[in-house]
Structure 1
Amino acid sequence: MGRFVYYLLTVCILSKSLVAFKKNTDCGSSVGCYSDCSGDCTFEVTWREMGTKIEISMKASLASLSSGGDWISVALSSDDKMGSDTAFDCITDGSQVFVQRSTNPGKYNTQISPLDPWITVKTNSYSAGILMCSFDAEKSNAAGIDFDTDSYMFFGKGKWNGNLNSKFKHEITPKISAEKVDLQKYDVIGGSPMNIMLKLHGIMMISAWILCASIGVVVARYYKPVWLEEKLLGEKVWFTLHRGVMVLAVLFCIAGFTIIFVDRGTFQEIESDSDFKKAHPFIGIIVMCLAVIQPVMAVFRPHPGDNNRFIFNWAHWGVGIVSHFLGVLNILIGVLLDAMQMPIWVVYVVVAYAVYQFVIEFFLEIYDCMSRKKSASEAYEMRENDSLAKQDTKQDSQYNVKKIILGIHITIICLFTIALVILVSMDLSIHNQVPKLKILSVELYAQEMGNKTSGQRLKRTLKKKASLSSENEYLKMQFKITDEQLKEYRSLFKDHSDNNKVITRNEFRNVYQLIYKSGDATEFADRVFDVFDSDKSGTVDFIEFAAGLTMMDSEKLEQKISIAFSMYDEDGSNTLSKQEVINMIQAYYRLLGPDVSRSPVEIANDLFKKMDLDKDDSVTYEEFASVAKRDPTVLEILNPKA
């Protein structure tokens, strides 16, 4: 029963508990997010561009407040290595919270004091184990930090002792975004670049202790009598099977051990805020030593019948129990390590394996116990040769049942192994924490769809939706479109697209011309088409069609302002010239027809004068939005009266 205890212990790992918090519901819609959120979160960084500023917010859970204080930090880097980085720190000593900028010139950190005047702190707090800071940073700043250039994002945390440049080294390995972050986009990302060597290490250990060892211990303990007289490769069947899988287990273990040392170059302790995670490399070394000791003991084992054979039997059994226990325990700890980027639910797969292994061994133990009692009872009653033959037949039947059980056991263990190997092999930084999708901001959808240039332009498109189950699910999730709306949009799309797949520019013009028969719809329809055609493919698919209609018909004023601004912003420069306003107003009145009481140019000039609040002969989005909120006529282009 000793092995039963170890499977139960495997499930019961104690750690410092982090206070989790819920994911920001604005992620992907009005802010970009980098986090480890998978249901709950332990850290989250959000950002959004606000004209000439970038708003950045960071939040993380602390297991407990250190005596001097704690810090969390987000850094921007041109590569995924520490060095030449700009960092923003959120620091607390328990009574106050403040923001500090720092740099990583190399493998160390230097804080900058006082806080730069181009950084404006908005909200700081530390409550119930959650540390949070938010601030605005000017895009044009004296430090020369370029927020328009894509950068890798780092997140770390550690202890602080209360003085300038007194940040202790991070307690956990800093998180690194799996790709560069565009602060002008509202992407939702997570995790770190996948370490192939680390994944291979995990696969080797899973193969050793979950695949091979799980089969080997069952065969050795419960299947010796099943093939008592049969031979395989010159040895008893059970021994050949046991030796074969256990030799593989040792080889896999050695391979995994070698891979991680080649990757790390030397022994490294785990940086973590959880004590049990720090034990991983130490347990690994113990497991490696025990794995090598087992075959060495087997080579020098006394022969059966030797007076010292019982010492080997107990030693072999004990070392096997401990090595298997520690091997599975270390796998469980391993999938929880930050560097592995595994979602928490992978732990449940390992736990399910441990529970299954307990159940199968418990079942076989009970089955053998009952079989022995039954055989002893029948042997006592039977005396004749034909009765003994019947007893042998029943025993053969019992062994056949056990062979079937072994086949089922091997199949299930293989399934567990395949599942874990696939999970470890995949880049689950995306699942850890949030799907790595280019999710589009609803509020700035129209503005983004109208962009035509590169550089600082927003480049995201609706087409990056491969992980979503269907177009309908995507639209319902991103734009809150109802089933009735989808049905209506599908019908409209089908009516106006020749192949039911895309709408061309000419088809788009024809739709408008059918509605506005007295006017010339060409130029206005082209403006709307360019806004809808988010990927600039020259056609509008159903996703673009439905999303565009939703934005134009939205009840949210900000969404209407965004899409209207895109329609005015002909060159995609994020500012409006007087000529762009004139062109849009002319297109609008050509659509409506000749009955116009005032000249479109005169109307456009008056409108531009009203919107150009700082009198610099250009209109920014902020100026446009400010006027549009007071004067609804600015948004009439969204719903021209037929």
Structure 2
Amino acid sequence: MGSDSVIDCVMTGGVVSVQHSYNSEGYQNQLILPRLGLGNGAGSFEDGIFTCAFSRQTVVPSQDKVYDLNSAWHVLFAHGRAQSGLKLPHGSNDVLASRRPIDFGATKPTKSTTLPTTTPTTTTELWTTIAHKTTIIPVAASSKPITVDPAQCGKTQGCYHPCVTDTHCDFAVSWTSHKDGIDFRLKATLSGVGDKWVAIGFSDDEEMGGDYVLECVSKDGDIRVFQSYNYGKRNRRLPDPHLGIRDSSASIIDGVFECNFTRDKVVNGDEKIFDLEKDWHLLYAYGNAVEGKKQPHSYTNLPKASAQAIDLQSYEDISGVSSRILLKVHGCLMVFAWVCAASIGIIAARYYKPLWPHQRACGQMIWFQIHRFCMILAFVACISGFVIIFVEIKGYSEIVGSNFHKAHPILGIIVTALAVLNPIMALFRPHPGTSKRSVFNWAHWIVGTGSHMLGILTIFSGVGLNKVHVPGYVTYILIGYVVYQVLIAFILEIHQYVANKKEFSSSSTANKRHGQYLYEMQGKPYGSTRPPAIPLDIEPPFSNMKKAMLGTHVLIILAFAMIVGLIIAIS
């Protein structure tokens, strides 16, 4: 033992990987570009028998520690234990050596032989199963920009990229079509340390969900190509993640992650491996990897989608990405309508009628003007958002997802109908003091409160849709909003109860004032020319506290609406 070229089969977590190492003169073993020249690796451990099979290039250029198999060599066999993917030293009796050098070229099988393999499953995925070459050069302090060649893109190859100019690209995907396959090249500028992944998805629309994915994933610096599928927002590797993939190679040079491979145009045996002779929207995404598996991409690096379906048989230069501007405007308007404007308007009408009794704004009581102004804003925002989404999706659209999310369009239509109905009811409201006024008040309250609650529920269903790409934590922000809304209503109910109790105990006419002017909107009862029974400049107890609570409520509601709206806008 000493100065030996070694090929290791190492099992980690039930997965066998094949790699190169070298025994120095001092009996020290170290990895050397682990999988350079290796391919078709597979292995298993069943009934105490460890099986490992692989192929190796006869000559591996520019690597003198990977020996030329055209020469004859003594073969050494050793085994031992491994921990976390690293070999532990073997025992003194765990090494066997051939008595004479073996000429590998002299082995001429008389019949075809098949290397033993194992079939990958959804829970066990082989890392080394295809011929592959990885080149690793340490990341420089600043990554080089990705460039696209205008002489090639759209002429000799197809390209998809977001480049503003030829030298300002975060990523670039190129492809070349030939008779039975398509050669892909993925390039991305990645920052940070640790293993990474880049991937392209193939979708029949611009949103994530039901997509076929080709992914390049690094593990301990080595990069492999796999296939997976997006089940909604969750991605899972296919049972045979290398089916139809060949001729892969990859490199990381100065922070630029490059991955090249060929995929057969049509692959039989798995319906989730899409037919590349059809047109697809391309999705691009990247993120961190752990132990050879993709970790979810961050919400600041959401997938980019091509604005049009791409014919991979032609050489198009696709330089734009789908912005979803109208979708974002729709979301922001609905958040403003129901999280912000409706919340303030309903609180003002429910709890602030007795306040500012001697003050008017444009001839109307303060609470009524606040209520009307906020509800007009909510109405305008809701109608605008409703029209915009129909323009964006070009009509009514069925949604793929859970039943709750599928209900989003229906809920939106109902909410918009209620938003239109309530102001129409207000136009025909009976005069204060008439017999039908109480019927209107109850109907107005039920429609208004119902539309507000249903509007918030519709927003919950909307932020969970795949197409909007909104981070999952927005749901928790909305839950916080609902909790706060219930809390402020509870506090105001307690405040009103305490104030009424104090007022009723100190004034025999308080009950009359509350009953007579509960829905007064013009400073005096309709048709009355007599002065009010109680001076209107007398406010209920603790009114200053209640005014301060309204100001605080407005600020908190604005904060909720701005945070959710900003997340929708930048996602």
What TM-score do the two structures reach when normalised by structure 2?
Answer: 0.45
Higher strand share: 2
The structure with the largest helix share of the pair is 1
Structure with more relative contact order (C-alpha pairs < 8 Å, separation 6 or more)? 1
